[in-house]
Structure 1
């Protein structure tokens, strides 16, 4: 990592539309796994911050004004750290089951962007990044893991 890279951290947002209410039996495995998976994230190398309410997660944080949508937002040191968490262990197990719990949506619901070190993005900021990605495709302002951009300020 260069000195320039250390001035920035990677923000990510992942928004999903639930197939069932959070209290439903269909989502029991997902809800039960939230705290353990969040604990793994919190302890992961490169983890910086995650959005959470008083519940300890973000399932009750409104996003896009849609009560069937939930948001996961976090900040990581870099893409490698985020990928290492996403594709290993308990998170990978849940990722494999995502279509049991969440609607398949064609439009972008995941976005990444670089933030100045210490900045904690808001849900409003994340919504704008997702909308920008939908409208313009991957750019330094909002991108995906498949289309990453070097650390630095987005446009």
Structure 2
């Protein structure tokens, strides 16, 4: 059995989720370039994106607006499947657009909920929903790193191919 790395991350912007918010403005401006880079990066198998509203309902990122401010600020979420931890790190930290774009947004993130990034190893044929990613992130926040849900600070070694 071959394994791939799954990552799920959430960014909750500070302030209201409107076009006037600097996070929203910058994020939406850089997203097409990041998606284009991801589509051509050999180490990524797939990626998907969505919004998790405070009431737990999911929205496709393409249908994010109009967003009613009375819903509360959503978590902007990404999930991706990677060939390896090294590939994920290369894209996130050394890629053409992701590192500079995300650095611009760091000061505009609400980190009060705890970690916003979780990973796990999964058999290549296994499929996941955004809600599965949210459950893994919640598990990491409540229990710390484990093979089920681990952090970048405490990565788990890829399981051996059976």
Which of the five TM-score ranges fits, normalised by the shorter chain?
A: 0.7 to 0.9
Return 5+ residue gaps in structure 2 as ranges.
57-71
Return 27-36 or 92-101, whichever deviates more: 92-101
Q: TM-score if structure 2 supplies the norm length?
A: 0.77
Q: Determine the structure 1 residue equivalent to 2:52.
A: 62
The residue matched to 2:77 in structure 1 has which SS?
strand
Runs of 4+ in 1 over 4 A off after TM superposition: none
User: SS at the partner of 1:97?
Assistant: helix
Output the CA distance in 2 between the equivalents of 1:132 and 1:123.
14
1:35-114 mapped onto 2 (5 Å cutoff): 35-51=32-48, 58-59=49-50, 61-62=51-52, 65=56, 67-88=73-94, 89-105=96-112, 107-114=114-121
Cα distance in structure 1, aligned partners of 2:154 and 2:112? 19
Aligned to 1:13: 8
The equivalent residue for 1:125 is 132
The answer for unaligned runs of 5 or more in structure 1 is 52-57
Aligned residues: 141
- The answer to whether the aligner puts 1:23 opposite 2:19 as a matched pair is yes
Cα distance, 1:128–1:63 mapped onto 2, change above 3 Å? farther
Q: Kindly tell me: are residues 22 and 90 of structure 1, through their superposed partners in 2, closer, same or farther at Cα, counting changes over 3 Å?
A: farther
Q: In structure 2, the residue corresponding to 1:147 is in which secondary structure?
A: coil
Separation in 2, partners of 1:69, 1:16: 5
CA RMSD, aligned part only? 2.1
- What secondary structure is seen at the aligned counterpart in 1 of 2:148? coil
